[in-house]
Structure 1
């Protein structure tokens, strides 16, 4: 029952987004707690990890290294290029670029499982890119748009430490120390994460009601292109660099699916509510596209 609820994440996001657009006053009072809500999601991610999960970094360094490099090169560049091609406003450009500079999203682990990809590799890639995000995300954001928009690198670094690194680390410690005692409630964390992310998306939709109505279609097209180009290029480059089919699938999913919740929280704090719109729409779309990709790949045998 709970797994079915979690799998319908895009549906809940669409329904709550529609409610937010029709009755924004329901969600507007909660705009200041977005960082706390994301921290809750990150804590839930940590609660699914143990220190042993990171051993794969040493067992398969090539795949982890290539996946991480592609994560932090392809998506920032694609986001910046699309923003320039579509001549987006400075606020939306900041949001798209920041989204591309974020680490992989936790939803990629579920999609990798459904696609018959390498779940262990997916978890490590998500975890590793998340752990180094406090340096990479502010630095890359500044590198791409720092000449046109003021980017608070130090402030962004501190924020990522507070709402990502600390909650994830705390979750890992609790899961490692109290693993047997929390076994019966572990299945609740994905549900809590879904509810929290849907709520965050609804707040952003409420804050951007006029923007969604006036320019929503353009932003949707940009988000779809960003995601699909990330999926395809991540897979393609992984194959070109000599990785196996299952590794390439995993990296393609990892590159194409961003931690959009983090981009939303950082956009709200360091740019504008409008800058957070691409991340909110991405949260909905990449789960839909990921589900289709997983369904297609799951039907195809992986070459030996």
Structure 2
């Protein structure tokens, strides 16, 4: 063991063993990400479908003003904001392309989960996610053609149309099953909602952390890309909410439209990046979708935590001010939700 060749051989063997273990660990994580997590995510979407009222959903489709507002935010505000940030930070062409691709992606299912915890309009959230996913097949190439012409031709970016076509039924089938469960077995639907709402947020966080581990070698990016990845979803939330209020949407819908604007399908952006760029180019930008995911999760958790604390404070206030002689529900204007004498909250009273 004291001979240098033998020492070198042992070191190489240990390194080789560690590399093989690392590869096998990454393979296991990849299998989990590609097989198990989509199944669990569909179960969460099923639970969100159990919160959907088919009459209200049909009402949004018949009178799609709120959906149109969301569409303008999704494919108007986000691509333009991504373009402005790319120009402002003077990033490399390949980096600008990935930023704009992210801004052009449709909404993700994560927005439905957060909308539930923020007492958003679940029927609007699900209909907006479905509409943005279906319309993305036409709007993504159009937006990319408009905003990327200064860096490259729009035809050089490969959009995975098959994946977009599959995403829509993967959303609508569990939502439809959830609507049927709510109609046929209301008590079972309540249990499914309880489980799904508790599992949804941790599931998204676990998926993002696992992605960070799998692609840990792709984290070397410029400071500009980190800053843009952090502030882009925050700008999406803020500008979406502001536009909804300017167009006089109720508070409940404003929260929903803000979420649908800021939450983008980061995994779709990662797929387009893999298809459209060389290995050297991917090394410069591959972690950007993950940074965006972490950022939108962080700001969503802050919003959910703040809203839930505010909601509980209003409940306690309502309980303290209520009297035994009260027989009717007391409507207290607290940013768009109603608090009854038992302290329960009903987000049906909105302030225009």
- Higher relative contact order (CA closer than 8 Å, sequence separation 6+): 1
The residue aligned with 2:139 is 136
Deviations 1:159-209 (A, max 9, x none): 333542343345456667788799787847985896587456644664462
Is residue 2:74 matched to residue 1:67? no
- Summarize the alignment of residues 201-212 of structure 1 with structure 2, pairs less than 5 Å apart: 202-203=210-211, 206-207=214-215, 209=217, 211-212=218-219
Does residue 275 of structure 1 match 2:285? yes
Aligned pair in 2 of structure 1 residues 194, 293: CA closer, same or farther (>3 Å)?
Answer: closer
1:235 and 2:235 correspond: no
In structure 1, distance between residues paired with 2:37 and 2:155:
20
CA-atom RMSD in angstroms: 3.8
Instruction: Tell me the SS of whatever aligns to 2:159.
Output: helix
Q: Which runs of 5+ in 1 are unaligned?
A: 1-22
User: Would the alpha carbon gap of residues 172 and 291 (structure 1) be closer, same or farther in structure 2, given more than 3 Å must change?
Assistant: closer
Correspondent of 2:297 among 287, 290, 297: 287
State the Cα deviation string for residues 66-106 of structure 1 (Å, max 9, x = none).
11211111111111111121122222222211111111222
Summarize the Cα distance change of 1:160–1:278 in structure 2 as closer, same or farther, 3 Å threshold: same
Structure 2 gaps of 5+ residues are 1-21, 312-333, 337-350
Deviates more, 1:270-279 or 1:247-256: 270-279
> Residues 102 and 263 of structure 1 are in contact (CA less than 8 Å); yes or no, is this contact kept in structure 2?
yes
Select the structure of larger CA radius of gyration.
2
TM-score (norm 2): 0.64
Q: 1:266 aligns with which of 250, 272, 278?
A: 272
Q: 2:115 pairs with 92, 112, 116, which one?
A: 112
Superimposed CA distance per residue, residues 244-266 of structure 1 (whole angstroms, 9 cap, x where no aligned partner): 22222221122112121221222
Contact (CA 8 Å) 1:94, 1:145: kept in 2 or not?
yes
CA distance in 1, matches of 2:104, 2:136: 8
Question: Shift in Å at residue 55 of structure 1?
Answer: 1.4
Report matched runs for 1:140-159 at 5 Å: 140-152=143-155, 155-156=158-159, 158-159=161-162
Query: Structure 1 residue 286: deviation in Å?
Result: 0.7
Structure 1 residue 302 and structure 2 residue 335: aligned?
yes
Which of 256, 259, 274 is matched with 1:250 structurally?
256
Task: Determine if contact 2:111/2:263 at 8 Å carries over to the other structure.
Answer: yes
Specify whether residues 245 and 279 from structure 1 end up closer, same or farther in structure 2 by C-alpha distance, changes over 3 A only.
same
Q: Partners in 2 of 1:89 and 1:57 — Cα distance?
A: 42
**Equivalences for 1:182-201 in 2 at 5 Å?**
187=195, 191=199, 198-199=206-207
The whole-number CA distance in structure 1 between the counterparts of 2:162 and 2:176 is 21
Tell me the TM-score normalized by structure 1.
Answer: 0.73
CA pair 91-39 structure 1, distance change in 2 beyond 3 A: farther
Q: 1:252 to 1:174 in 2, by over 3 A?
A: closer
For 1:37 and 1:141, the matched residues in 2 are separated by 32
More helix, by proportion: 1
Aligned length: 280
**C-alpha distance in 1, partners of 2:242/2:147?**
24
